[in-house]
Chain A
Amino acid sequence: MSTLINPVEPFLRTDRMPHIWCPGCGIGTTVNCFARALVESKLPLDKVAVVSGIGCTGRVAGYVNLDSFHTTHGRAIPFATGLKLANPSLHVVVYSGDGDLIAIGGNHFIHAARRNVDITVICVNNFIYGMTGGQVAPTTPVGATATTAPYGCFERPFNLPFLAESSGAVYVARWTSFHVRYIAHSMVEAFQKKGFSFIEILSPCPTLYQRRNKMGDGLDTMRFYKQRSIIKNGARTQDVDINLQGDIIVGKFVDIERPTLQQSMDQQLRQTLKDRYTGWGGA
């Protein structure tokens, strides 16, 4: 009798299962997409490193069977910047949540995009702080409630694709955890892209966001994503704001070419220093 192995199993640290994510949570779905994207992209797995910050999505680094770094809150991108510059042969993927990447880590996000650091940033956006118990985030839609916004969020949230594009990202896409094939396809494209690529994945947090906001469970959220998502590849990112119950514009919004940080550094220093310039590793 042959044993059936889930095709994503080799990509996971199965000795760490079960994972910590709640039933209905979308993070595991995105990890499944990530594993499939790794298969499809044929990246050498020994050369793929995952860097996470803190939070529910921050735990992804702990479950992928790759070189993986669970860093401090908000600082996955600076870690990834150092890792990539020190070891340019690596494919560095930052995998973290909206609170980690955009609130406490927001400054690093815009600067890494500006520099065009050659990394892929995957942001699982569940509109809430999950691990700490459901606090308001800079992504929480106006009117949604959270433990620290008990009467409704009154701050305008960030539009992440717009933020990424304005800051200099060369690849920007948004999907929901309903769009599994699109997610995997975008990840493959992002891995192949030179420069700062960004994928936002809207994902349910049934335990803390959907339940509190009377939006049902994980399955209801999938239905909501299915019904309300509109695929608009190439949409202007300033037009893709998210409202509490409104339509969700998804798709690939940005795919441009621009020299990476490493390329710009090499070019500038070589131009100025000529043969005195010694590239990384004495080259």
Chain B
Amino acid sequence: MTLSTANPKSVLTGAHFLDGDCACGEGALAAGANFAAGYPITPSTEVVEHFASRIPTVGGVFLQMEDELASSMAIVGAAWGGAKVFTVTSGPGFSLMMEHLGYAAMTETPLVLVDVQRGGPSTGLPTLPGQADMLQARWGSHGDYEVIALCPNSPQECFNLTIDAFNLAEEYRTPVLVMMDECVGHMTEKVVIPAASDIKLFPRRYTSLSPSEYLPFRPGPDGIPEMVKAGEGYHIHVTGLTHDEHGYPAMDWHSQHKLVGRLVGKIRDHTDRIARWEERGLEDAEVVVVAYGITSRVAERAMQMARAEGLRVGLLRPVVVWPFPEKRVRELAPRIHAFVVVEMNYGQMVYEVERSAGDQARTLLLGHGGGAVHEPEEILKVIREAAA
């Protein structure tokens, strides 16, 4: 697939001082998003506020809908109308959007869903951070499906990873999640936005076949079907029911296995291409701290403190959290003492680390219910325990 470059009109090239929410909005604009629908919810609202102020001068639509069910479905409709789409939410809104995460997965609708995580459950801590939606991102909608989720730890990454999320959504024809947190969303840092010509975009997989040759859900060699938009004479049918390659409902186990197997496989079989992580000091590490989002930055400080004490500590930061970099954890496990998983929840991604490490290394969890980031000293304490 030939990549295109960003539209200069939508890209604010230069160095800026932006918070993560606005950087995410700029990332969406740079990626060519021209339709967003949203519903106000703290701490994510700034993303759509920013988009709403910018999009009318770039060319596109922002619509504030009546709730999160509507915003998450309006973007699916707009995608089938030919737009590049996203929505943004937090906490309770993320729960409401779960049905349409599944619908987008089932109908192979490319879209981006940003969740700026706050403390939960329920209304929880609207203005304070959490990382407790990580498993909901993976498993939150009913039925079997795979998703891709990215986890930025800085405003710069909020920009970069939002573009990557759009590219992955187009490449795999799937919903892609950007799992921010309140700290990353509201922290202000330098964000460098490159020239439009340096921003590469994965184009929509529009078919070149004629209506008589085209089947809307016939997969290509990589398991991913080509797309059309409404109004082009293809008379497509799209349904959330289990469907055949025509898109027609097919209520039998054979069609179910074929379709759902492909939906899962098109992500799972490309895990090596999609999974992405950052490593620090793993060469000689005996203890590996696993952390993502804002927590990874505190963990890095704890790692420096531990190194100063002579402890051999490294950091593994999943940048793409789903699919999880299980192969890397499995490689590391036999040659280290322990993993220390630090997250703002009572244990979510730790299950992936435990599963991948098996009995080859100990896995320790340092979790809490959200509301504030960890202190480096508490992480250091668990690192010492793990190294002992």
Q: In the docked arrangement, what's the CA distance between A251 and B70, Å?
A: 31
Do B232 and A78 touch across chains, with their CB atoms under 8 A apart? no
Q: Does chain A have a CB within 8 A of B311? A: no
Q: Does chain B have a CB within 8 A of A154? A: no
Take A61-B237, A67-B236, A72-B240 as given contacts and tell me if A90 and B74 are in contact as well, using a CB distance cutoff of 8 Å: no
- The prevalent SS among residues of A at the interface is helix
Do A67 and B234 touch across chains, with their CB atoms under 8 A apart? yes
Do A75 and B73 touch across chains, with their CB atoms under 8 A apart? yes
- The residue on B at minimum CB distance from A70 is B239
Q: Does chain B have a CB within 8 A of A47? A: yes
Measured between beta carbons, the chain A residues less than 8 angstroms from B235 are 45-46, 65-68
Q: Does chain B have a CB within 8 A of A182? A: no
Q: Does chain B have a CB within 8 A of A86? A: yes
Do B237 and A83 touch across chains, with their CB atoms under 8 A apart? no
Do B75 and A82 touch across chains, with their CB atoms under 8 A apart? yes
Measured between beta carbons, the chain B residues less than 8 angstroms from A68 are 235-238
Q: Does chain B have a CB within 8 A of A36? A: no
Q: Does chain A have a CB within 8 A of B310? A: no
Interface string of B229-270 (1 = CB under 8 A from A): 111111111111100000011000000000000000000000
Interface centre among A62, A82, A279, A281 (most CB of B within 10 A): A82
Question: What's the least CB distance linking A68 to chain B, in Å?
Answer: 5
Interface string of A29-71 (1 = CB under 8 A from B): 0000000000000000111010100000000011001111111
Task: Say which size band chain B's interface belongs to.
Answer: 35 or more
Do B81 and A86 touch across chains, with their CB atoms under 8 A apart? yes
Take A47-B231, A67-B236 as given contacts and tell me if A85 and B56 are in contact as well, using a CB distance cutoff of 8 Å: no
- The residue on A at minimum CB distance from B75 is A82
Q: Does chain B have a CB within 8 A of A149? A: no
Interface string of A264-282 (1 = CB under 8 A from B): 0100010001001111111
Q: In the docked arrangement, what's the CA distance between A15 and B250, Å?
A: 13
Do B76 and A79 touch across chains, with their CB atoms under 8 A apart? yes
Interface string of A257-269 (1 = CB under 8 A from B): 0000000010001
- The residue on A at minimum CB distance from B61 is A85
Measured between beta carbons, the chain B residues less than 8 angstroms from A15 are 248
Measured between beta carbons, the chain A residues less than 8 angstroms from B231 are 46-47, 49, 67, 87, 89-90
Q: In the docked arrangement, what's the CA distance between A45 and B233, Å?
A: 8
Question: What's the least CB distance linking B293 to chain A, in Å?
Answer: 30
Do B73 and A85 touch across chains, with their CB atoms under 8 A apart? no
Measured between beta carbons, the chain A residues less than 8 angstroms from B363 are none
Question: What's the least CB distance linking B60 to chain A, in Å?
Answer: 7
Q: Does chain B have a CB within 8 A of A185? A: no
Q: Does chain A have a CB within 8 A of B63? A: yes
Out of A65, A107, A273, name the residue touching B67 (CB < 8 Å). Answer: A107
Q: Does chain B have a CB within 8 A of A84? A: yes
Do A78 and B234 touch across chains, with their CB atoms under 8 A apart? no
Take A49-B231, A71-B103, A90-B230 as given contacts and tell me if A278 and B70 are in contact as well, using a CB distance cutoff of 8 Å: no
Q: Does chain A have a CB within 8 A of B82? A: yes
Measured between beta carbons, the chain B residues less than 8 angstroms from A49 are 230-231
Do A86 and B103 touch across chains, with their CB atoms under 8 A apart? no
Measured between beta carbons, the chain B residues less than 8 angstroms from A276 are 56-57
Question: How many residues belonging to A are interface residues under a CB distance threshold of 8 Å?
Answer: 47
Do B56 and A277 touch across chains, with their CB atoms under 8 A apart? yes
Q: Does chain B have a CB within 8 A of A228? A: no
Q: Does chain B have a CB within 8 A of A193? A: no
Q: Does chain A have a CB within 8 A of B379? A: no
Q: In the docked arrangement, what's the CA distance between A282 and B126, Å?
A: 37
Measured between beta carbons, the chain A residues less than 8 angstroms from B35 are 82, 85-86
Do A82 and B37 touch across chains, with their CB atoms under 8 A apart? yes
Question: What's the least CB distance linking B79 to chain A, in Å?
Answer: 8
Q: Does chain B have a CB within 8 A of A16? A: yes
Q: In the docked arrangement, what's the CA distance between A8 and B366, Å?
A: 66
Take A13-B237, A68-B236, A72-B103 as given contacts and tell me if A83 and B59 are in contact as well, using a CB distance cutoff of 8 Å: no
Take A80-B77, A86-B35, A89-B231 as given contacts and tell me if A71 and B240 are in contact as well, using a CB distance cutoff of 8 Å: yes
Out of B67, B77, B249, name the residue touching A86 (CB < 8 Å). Answer: B77
Question: What's the least CB distance linking B325 to chain A, in Å?
Answer: 33
Question: What's the least CB distance linking B1 to chain A, in Å?
Answer: 22
Q: In the docked arrangement, what's the CA distance between A65 and B74, Å?
A: 23
Question: What's the least CB distance linking A164 to chain B, in Å?
Answer: 16
Do A62 and B77 touch across chains, with their CB atoms under 8 A apart? no
Out of B34, B69, B238, name the residue touching A75 (CB < 8 Å). Answer: B69
Do B77 and A16 touch across chains, with their CB atoms under 8 A apart? no
Take A70-B238, A78-B70 as given contacts and tell me if A278 and B58 are in contact as well, using a CB distance cutoff of 8 Å: yes
Q: In the docked arrangement, what's the CA distance between A281 and B70, Å?
A: 23
Measured between beta carbons, the chain B residues less than 8 angstroms from A279 are 59
Question: What's the least CB distance linking B84 to chain A, in Å?
Answer: 9
Do A70 and B80 touch across chains, with their CB atoms under 8 A apart? no
Q: Does chain A have a CB within 8 A of B78? A: yes
Q: Does chain B have a CB within 8 A of A81? A: yes
Question: What's the least CB distance linking B65 to chain A, in Å?
Answer: 6
Take A67-B231, A87-B229 as given contacts and tell me if A82 and B85 are in contact as well, using a CB distance cutoff of 8 Å: yes
A residues contacting B by CB (< 8 A) are 13, 15-16, 45-47, 49, 51, 61-62, 65-72, 74-75, 77-87, 89-90, 107-108, 111, 265, 269, 273, 276-283
24 interchain pairs, CB-CB under 8 A: A49-B230, A68-B237, A70-B237, A70-B239, A72-B100, A72-B240, A75-B69, A78-B69, A81-B70, A81-B77, A82-B63, A82-B77, A82-B78, A83-B80, A83-B81, A85-B78, A86-B78, A87-B82, A87-B83, A87-B230, A107-B66, A107-B67, A276-B56, A283-B59
B residues contacting A by CB (< 8 A) are 9, 34-35, 37, 56-61, 63, 65-67, 69-71, 73-83, 85, 99-100, 103, 229-241, 248-249
Taking A67-B231, A83-B77 as given, write out 4 further A-B residue pairs in contact, using a Cβ cutoff of 8 Å, ordered by the A residue number.
Answer: A51-B77, A71-B73, A71-B103, A280-B61
The 7 A-B pairs of least Cβ separation, nearest first, read A86-B81, A82-B77, A87-B81, A82-B78, A82-B74, A79-B77, A70-B239
